[in-house]
Amino acid sequence: MENVRIKALEPERVDKVKSTLTYQGKIAAIKLYMKYADCRLREAKIAVEKLGQEIEPGQAG
C-alpha cells in the first residue's frame, strides 16, 4: 500500500467519525472524515478503515 499520511483529528471528531461508521456506514464516515480533515477520498478511506479496526465488535449494541 502506498504511503498515505493520515491527519490527526480532535478526539471528539474521531468519536463522531467512529459513531458515524458504526451507525450510518462507511461512506457516510468517509464523507465526514473528508470534511473534518480537509483531505482527499483515498486518504479518508484509509483513515476510516483504520478507525474501523479500533471499534470492538458489539460496541454499537
pLDDT at residue number 1 = 46
Residue 43: strand, helix, or coil: helix
Stated pTM of the model: 0.84
pLDDT at residue number 26 = 97
In order along its 61 residues, the chain shows pLDDT tens digits of 456 677 889 999 999 999 999 999 999 999 999 999 999 999 999 999 999 998 877 655 5
DSSP 8-state class, residue 46: H
pLDDT at residue number 7 = 83
Considering just the CA atoms, what is the radius of gyration of the chain in Å? Answer: 11
pLDDT at residue number 61 = 52
Spell out the domain ranges in the chain. 11-54
